[in-house]
Amino acid sequence: MRIDVVTIFPGYLAPLREALLGRAIAAGLIDVRVHNLRDWTRDVHQAVDDAPYGGGPGMVMRPQVWGEALDDVLGDEPARLIVPTPAGVPFTQATARRWKDEPRLVFACGRYEGIDQRVVDEYASRMPVEEVSIGDYVLVGGEVAVLVMVEAVARLLPGVLGNPQSAEQDSFSDGLLEGPAYTRPVVWRGREVPAVLRSGDHGAIARWRRDRALERTAKRRPDLLAALPEDALDQRDREF
Ligand code: SAM
């Protein structure tokens, strides 16, 4: 997968080259290219923003510079353009799963009050474009949102995780939150690892994990339980 990020703070994306993602890049599983939006400015101040029409606080990112940058970065290769914004559709694990099969994702990082809306409208008339939010809060720029989304997508790509089963068993994979996890020692500060996990009885362990996932989801995210399809819970789940 190729990932392009356009930003006025290229340094913000440096963590993409760390740890798991860094290894995936080194292994050629992901090709990440970060572009400085200011390279497409033409004035001496390299201005990327201007005052908003209609008044109000803050500045809006200029369409001309974004248009020239995106034309060059997109080129002729098919891509999906992602525009992070708190006013976007929520980014979820389902979004990550959908994007993992894309050959190319291009992220446009906004700053200030965001990007002139005509940029989104223009590219949406010729290619897939999505305005997405990583949560109901407001960040100062799109860079951190891009780090979040790229990491969520990249760990689903074949070969990126050492053990692909971990992604299959994670929270949200079956619509539930994952239950608690434990490692050695058996007793730590008087707290014991549940006996069933040490029993070697795989059926009992699977049932215990399922019950804890249901319990945790019901307590912390009842909205997820309510959204499960009719056939997602078996008779035993319902008894829980
Ligand atoms: N005026 C905008 C609004 O109220 O919807 C907020 C702009 S925010 C200060 C600046 C940039 O941060 C946005 O253009 C976007 O790129 C990014 N951003 C902020 N919060 C975000 C979120 N929850 N999800 C995704 N991107 C976000």
Distance CA 172, CA 151 (A): 16
Q: Give the model confidence (pLDDT) of 114-164 as tens digits.
A: 999 999 999 999 999 999 999 999 999 999 999 999 999 999 999 999 887
Q: Give the model confidence (pLDDT) of 76-94 as tens digits.
A: 999 999 999 999 999 999 9
Residue 107 makes CB contacts below 8 A (sequence gap 6+) with 3, 4, 5, 6, 82, 83, 84, 142, 146, 149, 150
What pLDDT score does 8 carry? 98
Is residue 55 annotated as involved in ligand binding? no
pLDDT, averaged across the chain:
96
What pLDDT score does 167 carry? 79
Position 208: which residue type? W
Q: Give the model confidence (pLDDT) of 157-199 as tens digits.
A: 999 998 877 777 788 888 999 999 999 999 999 999 999 999 9
Distance CA 177, CA 215 (A): 9
Distance CA 16, CA 5 (A): 11
The reply to whether ligand 1 has any atom less than 6 angstroms from the CB of 110 is yes
What pLDDT score does 238 carry? 84
User: Dihedral of the CA atoms 7, 93, 151, 169 (nearest 10)?
Assistant: 180
| Residue percentage of the chain with pLDDT more than 70 | 100
Q: What are phi and psi of 32, to 5 degrees?
A: -105, 125
| ipTM score of complex | 0.99
Is residue 139 annotated as involved in ligand binding? yes
User: Dihedral of the CA atoms 217, 221, 224, 227 (nearest 10)?
Assistant: 120
Cα 41 to middle of ligand 1, angstroms: 22
Task: Supply the pTM of this predicted model.
Answer: 0.95
What pLDDT score does 169 carry? 78
What pLDDT score does 180 carry? 97
Does 86 qualify as catalytic in the annotation? yes
Residue 153 makes CB contacts below 8 A (sequence gap 6+) with 1, 96, 99, 100, 105
Task: Say whether pLDDT at 230 is over 90.
Answer: no
What pLDDT score does 163 carry? 81
The reply to whether ligand 1 has any atom less than 6 angstroms from the CB of 49 is no
pLDDT band at 17 (very low <50, low <70, confident <90, very high): very high
The reply to whether ligand 1 has any atom less than 6 angstroms from the CB of 175 is no
20 touches 51 (CB < 8 A): no
- Tokens 């200029």 sit on residue: 62
Q: What are phi and psi of 84, to 5 degrees?
A: -70, 135
Task: Say whether pLDDT at 240 is over 80.
Answer: no
Average pLDDT over residues 14-41: 95
Residue 140 makes CB contacts below 8 A (sequence gap 6+) with 111
Position 48: which residue type? V
